[in-house]
């Protein structure tokens, strides 16, 4: 039996510290779709991210998450399969930290970032944002434009006060979803940059082989910030996926 078309109703879940402006190019490429956002500004503990997602999730929607948001989207599909019509995971790692640098960040590096965040939050954010891009993307000015949109002036990103940022890093440190996607009922579209320096694509190669019924798109030469650098490619994949 053919799969029913998915609803053009999207809940967008951002990556760590990313403001709503991250999604602007993607949303412009999806006219006629309903775009919903989640408010993480009151989050003070990692478990409160799920509470915020539940509050924003409509009756039935495609849940699109980038990086940290992708982990939250996958968890939402497990918790509320009747409300999550499909998941689009962009630049997402099922387990952000790993002892093997080819599969994730070393726990000590994330711990160092957590310490720096407390002392210099904007500088920590800006350094992380710049690291999301490949050298070629940085040379083209993509990193600078994203940092400017993410941290305007001396302010923190919209919707991300310091306690929420701290909770986000703790969520990344604690979360391990490596056994989750095989049990997901909703359809899953997974998009990743082939040169992602934050969430190495090698981390999901074994999963891709096990889950042949899912849809995968590896974007050549792209880094971590796909929603910022490749909105047209993501929008095209989403339109095909939802049809």
Sign (positive or negative) of CA dihedral 88, 91, 94, 96? negative
User: What are the Cα distances from residue 24, in Å, to 8, 36, 102?
Assistant: 16, 12, 31
Cα–chain center distance at 209:
22
Would residue 3 count as lying in a domain?
no
Place of tokens 């940022």: 165
Q: Is the pLDDT reported for residue 1 higher than 70?
A: no
In this prediction, residue 212 has a pLDDT band, given cuts at 50, 70 and 90, of: low
Q: Is the pLDDT reported for residue 23 higher than 80?
A: yes
Task: Give the strand order in the sheet containing 215-219.
Answer: 34-37, 9-13, 61-66, 84-90, 188-193, 215-219
State residue 59's pLDDT score: 93
Residues of the chain above pLDDT 70, percent? 98
Would residue 51 count as lying in a domain?
yes
3-class secondary structure for 168-220? Answer: HHHHHHHCCCCCCHHHCCCCEEEEEECCCCCCCHHHHHHHHHHCCCCEEEEEC
CA gap 158, 139 in Å, rounded: 26
pTM of the model: 0.94
Give 124's DSSP letter: H
Is 130:143 a contact under the CB 8 Å cutoff?
A: yes
Q: For the chain, what is the domain count?
A: 1
**Full residue range of the structural domain in which residue 32 is found:** 9-242
CATH number for the domain harbouring residue 61: 3.40.50.1820
Would residue 184 count as lying in a domain?
yes
pLDDT digits (tens, 9 = 90+) for 100-136: 988 899 999 999 999 999 999 999 998 999 999 999 9
Would residue 153 count as lying in a domain?
yes
């Amino acid at each position: 039996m053919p799969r029913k078309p998915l609803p053009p109703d999207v809940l967008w879940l951002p990556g760590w510290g990313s403001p709503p402006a991250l999604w602007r190019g993607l949303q412009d490429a999806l006219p006629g779709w309903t775009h919903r956002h989640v408010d993480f500004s009151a989050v003070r503990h990692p478990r409160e991210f799920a509470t915020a997602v539940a509050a924003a999730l409509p009756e039935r929607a495609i849940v699109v998450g980038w990086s940290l948001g992708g982990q939250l989207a996958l968890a939402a599909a497990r918790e509320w399969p009747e409300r999550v019509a499909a998941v689009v995971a962009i630049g997402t790692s099922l387990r952000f930290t790993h002892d093997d640098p080819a599969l994730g960040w070393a726990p000590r590096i994330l711990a160092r970032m957590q310490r720096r965040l407390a002392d210099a939050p904007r500088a920590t954010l800006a350094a992380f944002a710049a690291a999301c891009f490949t050298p070629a993307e940085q040379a083209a000015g993509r990193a600078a434009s994203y940092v400017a949109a993410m941290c305007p002036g001396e302010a923190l990103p919209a919707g991300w006060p310091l306690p929420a940022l701290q909770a986000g890093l703790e969520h990344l440190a604690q979360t391990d979803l490596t056994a989750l996607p095989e049990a997901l009922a909703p359809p899953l579209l997974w998009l990743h940059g082939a040169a992602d320096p934050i969430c190495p694509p090698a981390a999901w190669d074994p999963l891709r082989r096990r889950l042949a019924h899912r849809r995968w798109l590896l974007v050549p030469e792209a880094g971590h910030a796909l929603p910022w650098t490749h909105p047209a490619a993501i929008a095209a994949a989403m339109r095909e996926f939802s049809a």
